[in-house]
Structure 1
Amino acid sequence: METGIVEIGHLVLESGVVLVNVQLAYERTGRLDAPHVLVCHALTGSHVTVGTDDYPGWWSGLVGKGKSIDTNELSVISFNALGGSDGSTGPLTVNPDTGELYRNLFPEVTIRDMVHAERRALTVLGVNRLRAVIGGSLGGMRVLEWGIMYPEGMDILFPMAVTPQSTKIGNMESPFGNSRNDMESFYPLIRAMNTHDIGRGRGGVELASRLISAKVVAFAFTHDPMFPTDEIRTFAYMIPNSIYCLVNTKHGYESFLTEFEKWGLIIKQSMEVALWRQSKSLYLASAL
């Protein structure tokens, strides 16, 4: 397992603002020569998905040797999102114009800006194609944009606890302590979540959903007031090649961070099926 910083140079945001010398913190684990899975963290997460025995990552129950996302067979990469505060360019980065930390003056970034930055970072790491992209909540928003912005870039998408458009996020996932600095460090991510809308500039959600060509397995969780199951189901049926999975739980959207025994096997089996279908298609094409 390795952690580090990827330098991706200057980045033009959707707003037109140019961020200089952008960097993303990352974690990479598993076989480097294996198919790649990109994990996208939620609001309170970071790039430390697997972590170590002494300091486990936030998804160490799902990702690791012999687990549902098996690092014996896969290379798993995760980034601290653009605008985050765990090593990537964000509120705790020095503003080159003032020489002080950006804090709450960090420029507004969108989910699409985050995905654009991650694609650039993957290129620097030598990764051109992904087996899967997976994440929940903020991570799920990035998963959806990955499928639309880079439709040929992956085999399968796993958006979890996410709808195609956002309502006001507010204090969901309870990220804040009592420190004002804690709150400032989350401002860019919350603003990005509040402006999430895959239909923006694409003719609406239904048309945007048709731009996704990868297989999609969309997860919803019962008792989820933030991302209603009915909305996720309706959206999933708009996507050309999708499966809707409802997980019965008492913990709502937070269940994508736990209760892996209820849904982890679906992730593993879905990736295996996607690989089989891809191999079959390549075999049939070669026989023509």
Structure 2
Amino acid sequence: MKKTKIPFSSIATDSEFQSKINCRVTPIGLVIEDINGNRRFYIHPNASPRVLKKARQVGHKIFEYDFAILDFLKDVYGYNVKNLNGTESLKNLKCVDIHIFWSFKDLEFLFAKKEDYVNLLLNKLERTRRIRIDNECHTSNGLIRGNSVSLPYAVQLPDNSNNGKNRWFKISIIISDISAMQGNASLKEYASNVGIAMTDKETYTALQKAIMEEMYIDNPFKFERYTKGDGLLIEIKKKTTEFYNHIAELIGIEKRDNWGMSTGKIVASILNDW
């Protein structure tokens, strides 16, 4: 498949949900932010009736497509987007690097339907210290393992290889789980270590975080600010890489755009170059 460079190549996401004892986790909303700093807050279509009612009252958007990133691309960039049916075949591919911090739920709640998440993505994910895609593809050349997975969703983009003419591109995703880049620490600590203040993380107490659905009902805009405060993953990853590049500079080795996604891999890479 042909690939194209588009400004939204990296996207970060974080979800909020209500955990209940002996019950299925109920989504509330999520934030999506891209590499350009565009940020949107969405309510999940499977949120509780009370949350959905409040969202309509205050004007919060309930995402409409089967994959929330389609709503984001349409809302921010004005691109045409669509779900693909089983008979459509596209030659062009748009790969999106989705940044998360540790949680499978941040991936699950990008999908409107849990069964789509389970059938299309979950069986291709694995975790050691971080979540990653381990996708096995059986081809005429044998078994190929890849770190991306194609999804049945498409976006219409200008094709630079064809004089900018618009074409439909099938969306493929890779996962950048940054939760092991600085070792075992919270997201707030990750941010603090690279000079980013996450003041919105103090919005709710531990007890309030256990009843997040009530927090949304009580003050939707306060909830939105809190959720958007977790949308800094791309910047945290960038500054963490800059920190390791500073170490590289001090010991006289070449800087890299990517040292790896875990402290073990990063330390091994630095020592190997040294």
Report if TM-score (shorter chain) is over 0.5.
Answer: no
TM-score normalised per structure 2: 0.28
Kindly name which structure, 1 or 2, has the bigger radius of gyration based on alpha carbons: 2
More strand by share: 2
Compare relative contact order (CA 8 Å, sep 6+) and give the higher one, 1 or 2: 2
TM-score normalised per structure 1: 0.27
